[in-house]
Structure 1
């Protein structure tokens, strides 16, 4: 006998490993098994000994489907109770459960015997069947069973002894024997109601002979022989069986033709003919057209993919990959440029890529390479607008948000001028981001592309109140996107010893040599803090320590680079005092330094805005715009003037501002900014994509094969090929796009299209169409 204990310490053997171990032992000639299980499935399944010897299993703590598909010659004994599907598809095994069985015991069994020494759950004995070439299956239950028992039973014999079940109104549960067309159920105790085509009969002598012979064997298997006398009082038993085909035909002949009676003999046109339309047709569950219970919808692009929904810029990467799959790579590049002027500088270089964090593919193996894909559009050319509106728009602030708004507005044909007080346009990309993180050649190329669509740059232009008023008079609209221009800090003791991180980084990027100590402490360990630390090392610092009150928020690779330079991060560190010797924390910790730089974020300075137009502010620094991002008549805002954010947030904010500015200058009715809900994860069938593994990961463009295309049809044709009624058709248009439609006259509303669609494009819903019934024309 082979003994298997599936728990070794705290480690549990998997179901697969257990079944493989059993199969290997059987192939080696083993016949007896003592298994100390821990909920594993399918124990004692379809096995046969190479010499045809019987196989015996003694199992404790079995999981679902014990004895499923068991073959003749297999005997299984389960101590105590077992969970669902005992003897599922049993094909000849003898299965004994000494306690209760869960739901669907004996489900689909077609041979062998199943002995249950307790109760059976819901749908016990459902779909039992009998192949006349073999012995009929048997299912013996000592006590009672749950609802829907013996549903759609087609053959075999079941015995429900009703022991210890006096508290139940029916030992067969509710709605027993529904759809039963064959076999029989022997039952002792109350049976409640049952379908009209099921007969409850007294036992014949043949029935008694079968039960008497089988009861002794049954009670012996479950070790309850003492119950023999109480369970063999045959007057307490009934036999349930379905009407035979002949009996059904005879019953139909004795009845009347209901349709003829209603139309001809009762009231002409029907009893409600004066108020309702009645065609007297009988519509079954499986119907087409108006009488379908459910209807499918091809919801292509109704939902945003997780990458799009989590990209503040709003780039629909799934649509880019659709174009690439169609061989239209240049259009995919241009599509990204419809959303951002910085696919290389931001998406491909400095963005944290929240799109990749949300990527569905990341739950399978690795996210789609969205950031590198963005870089493929870095040096692409864009044609200037063919038509011009004659409208003039000023953008104050040459950073990412302002340039994003300018890019969108110029491409709509407006004349756009960007004003900035710096010598070079580009905001933080130009002035703050270290050249080691962002190629200056790439940034300059993307700035030239913005100019190529008609945007004019005015640098070294300080905008004060008077200048702002003049700009406002000369333009149809103004976008204020001056960003965060002043380093933030808290009122620590000794703030006079602080160096402002923003000013420090700007000096570094201008090629200057700002004062840098030998030993530097940087307050702030986000990405800006890491940029400052990198800059300090570049300016000759011997040691740099970054401190923060929380876990560092910088990218992992930025932290790794800083630490590779010799840097150290200390957290949690609650700054209390800065001196010429270093920094003190609230707990007394002291870090020596001859320079302390603060880099915990920036806040805007907008003293040029008018004070008499009711512009709202948050904490006297950030503006609070209206729903259309306006702060005054004809004045809109975007980016860090509203709240601090990432560069991708600034691009998205600029897009949104441009949307409303365009409507304003064109005198159009204000429409909300277009946004789509994220596709629910449960609509996606990720299993379709499991075949692609790490070995399939190549360049970003070839990732179109791995992309799940969440919410957007990838034209896989699975719905077309799977529809059982051939109700789905595919139509292709001149531009290469396509659409799938479902013919209501063929569709039965089965929902297979929605079930097989890997991208969540097809959905199925209850039929919303009302059926015209009343002659008044109203609908129900």
Structure 2
């Protein structure tokens, strides 16, 4: 057992399957004993791990981690880094970007949290994305062109995802975007020190190299009508995004120096805004509000600014800051308020820690109740009150505490409380709630051939938009081929395909749709193999956690800046793992729901019924078999299986 560092408190042992004093047998449905044997025999069940079940883009996380760690071998001549990257990019074509900015819900769902700490999935994704850019990997061209055409409105993560998936299927795709460059909120929302523009450009170019066409500076609804697109293209995807910010819903919010987060970040990312006021107050609590606050800390302020230097003029597009004045900048006082307490804010906890280190004051449990203005109409302070906030029935309820009002002085107030869709020219698409209604295939209600995805459905994560784009692409592909659009699976992820792996190795295959008696004699399948990945996420209770030793996480190096160091520092803060670190981190993956070749079942079987599949016939997920003539159904193989891959099913 690995020694636990002195500064880390060991968790109590909670992973023993059987405890001292246990004498009650399992439920009879699990045992079904008959004298000295049982009618329950080993069944090899592939399930979805919770990391994949938690990933909005549905990446085959377990699959590419098993490649990185060396369990799943790549085809001859293919580096493991490339093979893992290609498995990853089946779902997500932007791994280097997502490896930096995704808040990684996969890590929150990771079963390894029950042992000591989650697997650093996001950091391995970051490593693979960087390796692919460094080695100039490209996506393979489609084998054939279908002649079908698709118009994609919006070049953000949803639009890029659907364009990528459709281009791979052989369809001709044109992206229409109202801005000068592709990327959407990845470019015009997230600052460059979190998403380096050269990285974003490289991953977008790789998609365009599949033959995807673009029409930039072209707004649908004004420059081109939706009716024209429907007439000229075989299908249309609406990835409009939600790039219009929401103003504060309080009196005085119409002040010129009360701006939205989207307008603030666009002015910065366009390079027009070079400094802010001395005192900046940001209202929010999510990742966008953290981005605004950290940008404001880096920009700072000019002590004796002229009227024309005020940031609201730049944000409104009336002017641009003079670069010559930058040398006179000083640090800005930045305060971020949230209706939630700091520990319950929705922003990434790591980003909150970085913001605090940079001297940003974060005050939770405060609700804006008004904007204090001077005689000219400019805001001079944000009036807030203590509050309690909670979600009731999916809606946010905020109750302010009377008599707790206070004013926070401000030269610039930024509202980061949400985003809205600009339906100008496309008003008829608005469902009355500021979005577009679609089914689970993301086909617009009552509009065959028209699909939608991203923030226009519901503002959420970038990775959510990527996943919706992939699902919509499947629906569009079926529509273009004249096929019925099937119901989506309950668990909609890119899973490991055992049959593809067998074909890759040149083994005969015979699909077995359900565990059947006698399939242990079939060379084309694992006996009693069943793939439940489309409907079952395996919990930690199905794993033998006692197999896993304490292993600290391999953490990326993050440059933490002080208040003084943050001013004018636009360098990237997060560095990728080294190759050995990425491999070591992948080895921490418990491969939940799929065999990772530990040999426990072979070693502990008292009847020698469980045996290794001969090397010439084995693949990932097809590593062991059971001789049913020897098996007595004692359940030991299931009890010692770390991954939960072995379940006990009815057999003879």
| TM-score, normalising length: structure 2 | 0.70
Q: CA deviation at 1:428?
A: 0.9
In the alignment, does 2:297 pair up with 1:537?
A: yes
In the alignment, does 2:129 pair up with 1:372?
A: no
Aligned to 2:199: 442
2: CA distance, partners of 1:504 / 1:760: 49
Match of 1:566 among 351, 359, 362: 359
The equivalences for 1:249-648 within 5 A come to: 285-287=35-37, 292-299=38-45, 301=46, 303-324=47-68, 325=70, 326-328=72-74, 329=80, 330-346=82-98, 348-378=99-129, 379=133, 380-464=137-221, 466-497=224-255, 498-513=258-273, 516-541=276-301, 542-551=332-341, 552-578=345-371, 579=373, 580-586=379-385, 587-609=404-426, 611=428, 617=431, 619=433, 621-631=434-444, 632-648=447-463
1: CA distance, partners of 2:290 / 2:488: 35
Contact 2:595 2:620 in 1 (8 A): no
Contact 1:530 1:559 in 2 (8 A): yes
Q: CA deviation at 1:733?
A: 5.7
In the alignment, does 2:475 pair up with 1:718?
A: no
Q: CA deviation at 1:284?
A: 5.4
2: CA distance, partners of 1:411 / 1:608: 31
Contact 1:504 1:514 in 2 (8 A): no
Unaligned runs of 5+ in 1: 1-13, 17-63, 66-83, 86-103, 105-121, 124-282, 770-780
2: CA distance, partners of 1:312 / 1:733: 37
Contact 1:285 1:293 in 2 (8 A): no
Contact 1:484 1:640 in 2 (8 A): yes
Aligned to 1:78: none
Q: CA deviation at 1:625?
A: 0.7
In the alignment, does 2:440 pair up with 1:688?
A: no
SS in 2 for 1:483: coil
Q: CA deviation at 1:391?
A: 1.4
1: CA distance, partners of 2:51 / 2:358: 34
Query: Structure 1 pair 537/685, CA: closer, same or farther in 2 (3 Å)?
Result: same
2: CA distance, partners of 1:521 / 1:318: 42
Q: Which has the larger radius of gyration?
A: 1
Q: CA deviation at 1:618?
A: 5.1
Q: Deviations for 1:64-103, whole angstroms, at most 9, x for unmatched residues?
A: 99xxxxxxxxxxxxxxxxxx79xxxxxxxxxxxxxxxxxx
Query: Structure 1 pair 598/409, CA: closer, same or farther in 2 (3 Å)?
Result: same
Match of 1:742 among 622, 626, 633: 626
2: CA distance, partners of 1:372 / 1:734: 34
1: CA distance, partners of 2:411 / 2:199: 36
Contact 2:554 2:585 in 1 (8 A): no
Query: Structure 1 pair 577/413, CA: closer, same or farther in 2 (3 Å)?
Result: same
Choose 495-504 or 694-703, whichever is displaced more.
694-703
SS in 1 for 2:365: coil
SS in 2 for 1:622: coil
Aligned to 2:400: none
Contact 1:519 1:593 in 2 (8 A): yes
1: CA distance, partners of 2:64 / 2:408: 50
Aligned to 1:240: none
Q: CA deviation at 1:494?
A: 0.9
Contact 1:368 1:700 in 2 (8 A): no
2: CA distance, partners of 1:683 / 1:469: 53
| TM-score, normalising length: structure 1 | 0.59
2: CA distance, partners of 1:616 / 1:660: 22
How many residues are treated as equivalent by the alignment? 485
Q: Deviations for 1:527-584, whole angstroms, at most 9, x for unmatched residues?
A: 1011111222333232111111112332233223333333212221111111321111
Aligned to 2:466: 651
The equivalences for 1:54-93 within 5 A come to: none
Q: CA deviation at 1:285?
A: 2.5
1: CA distance, partners of 2:616 / 2:458: 44
SS in 2 for 1:581: strand
Structure with bigger RCO (C-alpha 8 Å, 6+ apart): 2
Query: Structure 1 pair 475/695, CA: closer, same or farther in 2 (3 Å)?
Result: closer
Query: Structure 1 pair 738/544, CA: closer, same or farther in 2 (3 Å)?
Result: closer
In the alignment, does 2:588 pair up with 1:706?
A: yes
Contact 1:519 1:592 in 2 (8 A): yes
2: CA distance, partners of 1:384 / 1:738: 29
1: CA distance, partners of 2:199 / 2:609: 52
2: CA distance, partners of 1:412 / 1:735: 31
Aligned to 2:537: 678
Aligned to 1:206: none
Contact 1:431 1:509 in 2 (8 A): yes
Unaligned runs of 5+ in 2: 1-10, 14-18, 26-32, 75-79, 302-331, 374-378, 386-403, 492-533, 556-576
Query: Structure 1 pair 618/668, CA: closer, same or farther in 2 (3 Å)?
Result: same
SS in 2 for 1:499: strand
Q: CA deviation at 1:720?
A: 2.9
SS in 2 for 1:405: helix
Query: Structure 1 pair 564/754, CA: closer, same or farther in 2 (3 Å)?
Result: closer
Q: CA deviation at 1:511?
A: 0.7
2: CA distance, partners of 1:304 / 1:737: 15
2: CA distance, partners of 1:486 / 1:584: 24
SS in 1 for 2:41: strand
SS in 1 for 2:161: helix
Q: CA deviation at 1:616?
A: 6.8
Aligned to 2:392: none
2: CA distance, partners of 1:556 / 1:439: 21
Contact 1:352 1:555 in 2 (8 A): yes
2: CA distance, partners of 1:504 / 1:695: 35
1: CA distance, partners of 2:440 / 2:452: 11
2: CA distance, partners of 1:396 / 1:695: 40
